[in-house]
Structure formats: structure tokens, C-alpha cells
Amino acid sequence: MTPLAVSGVELTQTGLSGLALGSLYGLIALGFVIVYKATRVINLAQGGTALLGAYLTFWLHVQAGLPYILAVVVAVLLCAAQAAAVERWLIEPVLSRDIHASLMVTMGILIAVQALVAGVWGTDQRNPDDPWRLGKVSLGGLSMTTRDLWVIGLAALAVVGFFLFFRFTLVGTAMRATAFHRVAASAQGIDSRRIGMLAWAIAGGLGGLAGILLGTTVGGGLQPGIANAALVALSAIIVGGLDSPGGAVLGGVIIGLAQQFAASYAPISLGQDVSTVLPYVVMVAILVFLPTGLRGTAEIRRI
């Protein structure tokens, strides 16, 4: 089916589903950018944090009996604490010696988290028993899942909350100063180590929330493949700009829309998995024409 053969309502519904998917990519991508700006580390363990958030919520809600909303809040806080601990005890000791070593540490953490989740909860798909399940909301001919509406709302709330914090609080100002020039910020009395740990904590919380929403019933339930969303989010930060929080969110939305429209309307002749490949095609196309992404900062070097 092609876009010309469908109604405007169907296109709008596909766009809204793509927006919901892109919002989740945007949350994970924003975590990548926050960590990169604060510590210059590309945190490959972000996918593991998303996976951990989803399974911790399952454990707290389904197995421990906590109300779902409380389980989500506790899981997000635990993900933030886990990320902060990783930064303090595993990343900080190697960061000053070799940036590549810190990258390999994050990759090792991702592998360890995936093994931990598989060992504790297994690899079978599990029902998260989320309150939205497969419920739908219809309005003016449009039909959306209740989960997608909540995803868009919660993602928007998280992103707006972060930008308000980043722009208008003293801690946010310290984070921006550290991101601009870590040494100069330290010279002005800003504890760059504490700011780095806070950045990792925020990124962990965002990643955990994204994983929770990815692991809902509409999203296919709990499965180890949730961690792969971080690989797609990596393409989103390349599209938006590696050092741009706004670009990360924009890139996530672009990738989500591209995937959803490809899954719905791409010709069968292109293959069944074209929507899986498309994010990386978009990433390469952007890199060819805009090496720093849509909103990234070009590096200026004096000769």
C-alpha cells in the first residue's frame, strides 16, 4: 500500500504512531547527548539501562505487587542510581587515562546487563501487565492506542522538564558550563566530577523510562531486544547532532516517523525489514550533507 492509496486519517494515525516511537528514541538519544556533553563519553550501556528499567518495573509490579505507577517511579530512580554508580566507580577512574577505554567499559556494562537480565528473568517474552494494555482512544475518525498517547505525553513532559532544569536552575547552569569547557568550569569552582555523575543519573532515568514504555503490551511486551532501541537512538543523535539536546529529540522524532511510515507503506519489493534498515540509511544521508547533524556544532580549528 502506498501513501497515495490511503486516506488522510490513516496517514495521520501512522504519523502519530511514528511520533510516539520517535519520542521514545528521543528520550534515549537525549540521554546519550547529556552524557557526551558532560563527560565526552558515548555511553553504549544506555540500551542496558533501558532494558533494566523495563524488567525492574516488571519485577516490582508483577512479582512484588507494587502499583504500576509506583513501580515505574522506583524503577526510574534505580536506573538513575545505577547509572550514577557506573560513572563514579567504573567510568571516572579510566576517563582521564583513555577515552577509548571508557567506551569499552560501557560496552562491557551493556553485555553484563543483558546477561544479568537473561539470567534472572530468562529470554522468553513476558507480560508487563501495564494499565494501558491494548486499549484504544478514538477521536474524529482517528484511533490511537492509549499507550501511544501516554508515551507522547510522558516523553514531552520529561523533555520539557529537562530543558527547564537545564536552562533555569543553578545546577543546570553548572551542567552547561561544564559541557562548554570542563577545565574552565572547574577553575570557577564547579565540581565537574559531581556534574558528570549527575549527567549520568539523568541519562539513566531517561533511558529507564524509555525502556519501560518500550516494554509495554503494545510494544510487544518484555523481551531482551528492548536494548536494541539504543542502537536506533544512536542514529538519531547522529542525525540531530551529537552535542545538541534539542537535536537528539528532533533526530529521534525523524527516525521514528521514518520507521513507522516505512513499515506501513514501503513496497514489499524493498524487503520486509526495510523499516529496520532505514534509520541507518537516513543517518548516512545526513552525514554526507551535514557531517555534524541537523543541529550539531561544527568544530573550529585554528591552523
Separation of alpha carbons 41 and 100, rounded Å: 9
Q: Name the band, by pLDDT with cuts 50, 70 and 90, for residue 9.
A: confident
Closest by CA position to 32, among listed 161, 202, 181, 165: 202
One-letter identity of residue 204: G
DSSP lists the bridge partners of residue 143 as 138
67-to-56, 130, 288 alpha-carbon distances in Å: 13, 10, 48
Say if 253 falls within a structural domain. Answer: no
Set of cell numbers at residue 167: 536552562
Confidence of residue 117 (pLDDT cuts 50, 70, 90): very high
As a whole number of angstroms, the distance between CA 28 and CA 25 comes to 5
CB count in 10 Å sphere of residue 59:
16
> Strand, helix or coil at 33?
helix
pLDDT tens for each residue of 24-46: 999 999 999 999 988 889 999 99
pLDDT number for residue 298: 73
Q: 246-279 in b/e burial notation, b at 16+ Cβ within 10 A?
A: bbbbbbbbbbbbbbbbbbbbbeeeeeeebbeebb
With cell 541519562, the residue in question is 203
Q: What is the pLDDT of residue 244?
A: 92
Query: Within a domain: residue 60?
Result: yes
Q: Would the pLDDT of 54 be above 80?
A: yes
Residue 91 lies in a domain: yes
CB atoms within 10 A of CB 31: 32
Q: Domain of 49? A: 22-224
**What's the total number of domains in the chain?**
1
CA gyration radius, the chain: 19
Residue 148 counted as domain residue: yes
Q: How confident is the model at residue 57 (pLDDT cuts 50, 70, 90)?
A: very high
DSSP per position, 243-277? T-HHHHHHHHHHHHHHHHHHHHHS-GGG-TTHHHH
Of the candidate ranges 40-49, 73-82, 290-299, the one whose mean pLDDT is the lowest: 290-299
Q: What are 149-188's pLDDT values in tens digits?
A: 999 999 999 999 999 999 999 999 999 898 888 888 888 8
Element (H, E) at 34: helix 8-39
Q: Is 138 helix (H, G, I), strand (E, B) or coil?
A: strand
Inside any domain, residue 288: no
Q: Is the pLDDT of residue 141 over 80?
A: no
Q: Is residue 278 part of a domain?
A: no
| Residue 176 within a domain | yes
- Predicted TM-score (pTM) of this structure: 0.93
**In percent, how much of the chain has pLDDT > 90?**
67
239: enclosing H helix or E strand: helix 229-240
Query: Per the domain annotation, does 248 fall within a domain?
Result: no
